Amino acid sequence: MSLPIEISSDHKQMIDECRALSNEVEPFSIEADESSVMHAPTLDAFRSSGLSNLMVPAAYGGRFDEVDPLAVCLAREVFMKTSSHLDSLFALQGIGSYAISRAGSESQKEEWLPAVGKGDALAALALTEPIAGSDLKGINTKAESTNDGLILTGAKSFISNAGSASFYTTLAKEGDGYSLFLVPADVEGLTVSPSPEIIAPHVLGELSFDNVVLPESSRLGEPGAAFRHVLATLSVFRISVAGAAVGLMQGALEEAVRHCSGREQFGRPLAKHGPVATLLADSWSDLESSRLLTYQTAAMAADDPEGNLDRSSLAKLTATEAATRVVDRCVQSMGRWGLIRGSKIEKYYRQARPMRVYEGASEVLRLGIASRLVKELGDGS
């Protein structure tokens, strides 16, 4: 399929590399996507591909001068179609390390970014807690400066890459504000346990910080500046969830079209029956409109990563809600063949669902989007 935007030869080359990695991972993608611990063959293939270099700036071994939101979206589109495990592994390299690229000290950057860019270090972002999800200001994890250094206490929940990550970019309360800390995975007092299994398996874990002692130099950026860096991360990476949702829709629609063109009922292929044709046509419409919005938003984020949060939310909301509709229609058009456990379409059906919850649940995104709309088009209040 041709792309609905002008993309550079660098992006085209990158897409070819992503497709090559996806082809390599395809034979074991069902196994990887059923795994809630890191899948070693997928990790090996990812490391060998060199594509983790999309997630760090060129000065630290990255491919582009800065992390390029359009490149990340295009890559996630390719990966998600083949394997959610590969997609998540790739995405977390940026989600967990972006605050270092943006706000880290030179020594933090030197220590971690080249290793992230090679895929040798795996990154994670630890925000959510048992009691705090959408409302991150309700967290309980605390950092206190003492004569012995910073002491971190608290717990984090549903953290992607937990147990496999090399470090956790961790949100904690500090005094009256909130700061981010770079916590190496092997630090004393940090323990990891598995999170509950979810409908579409994902590498997830619970973190416990029991009087973890960190040097003052482990703070990322200024004290109290956490939300600026978290929002910048979301501004860039929320759009990339939309990219992944586009890849999922593409895969689901290809499955449905193949089935509906080949199977006949009442003397005609399913695709020639009006109601089934409608399911397919509406799905294509959802897919292509989401794709356009995603690419456009990613291109805008490249120009102004920080001013783009609400647009990023809009793209994520649009594409993930569309993905749920599309995959549901595709399952319906395939009748009983859409329900086979372990089939591609059944896998997409389960994988679409968590996308509307993580990195901003749809309802919470709508609040921010509506508030921006009122500022731009309303009376400004």
Ligand X SMILES: Cc1cc2nc3c(=O)[nH]c(=O)nc-3n(C[C@H](O)[C@H](O)[C@H](O)COP(=O)(O)OP(=O)(O)OC[C@H]3O[C@@H](n4cnc5c(N)ncnc54)[C@H](O)[C@@H]3O)c2cc1C
> Nearest distance from residue 60's CB to ligand X, in Å?
22
Give the nearest residue (CB) to ligand X: 133
Decide: 152 and 158 in contact? Cβ < 8 Å: no
> Nearest distance from residue 38's CB to ligand X, in Å?
14
Q: Which of residues 99-128 bind ligand X (CB under 6 A)?
A: 125-128
d(CA 180, CA 194) in angstroms, rounded, equals 23
Decide: 179 and 225 in contact? Cβ < 8 Å: yes
d(CA 139, CA 322) in angstroms, rounded, equals 31
Binding to ligand X by residue 202, rule CB under 6 A? yes
> Nearest distance from residue 113's CB to ligand X, in Å?
19
Q: Of 110-118, 154-162, 209-217, 252-260, which segment contacts ligand X by CB under 6 A?
A: 154-162
Which one among 52, 84, 141, 160 touches ligand X, defined by CB under 6 A? 160
> Nearest distance from residue 296's CB to ligand X, in Å?
25
The residue count for the chain: 381
Binding to ligand X by residue 191, rule CB under 6 A? no
d(CA 232, CA 226) in angstroms, rounded, equals 10
Give the three-state DSSP class for 291: helix
Decide: 178 and 227 in contact? Cβ < 8 Å: yes
Q: Of 66-74, 153-161, 206-214, 336-344, which segment contacts ligand X by CB under 6 A?
A: 153-161
> Nearest distance from residue 354's CB to ligand X, in Å?
4
The two structure tokens encoding residue 285: 């419409």
Binding to ligand X by residue 229, rule CB under 6 A? no
d(CA 159, CA 124) in angstroms, rounded, equals 7
> Nearest distance from residue 265's CB to ligand X, in Å?
37
| Closer to ligand X by Cβ: residue 133 or 223 | 133
Query: DSSP string of 304-325?
Result: -SGGGHHHHHHHHHHHHHHHHH
Q: Which of residues 328-357 bind ligand X (CB under 6 A)?
A: 354, 357
d(CA 96, CA 224) in angstroms, rounded, equals 19
Residues that bind ligand X (CB under 6 A): 125-128, 133-134, 158-160, 198, 202, 204, 354, 357-358, 361, 363-364, 367
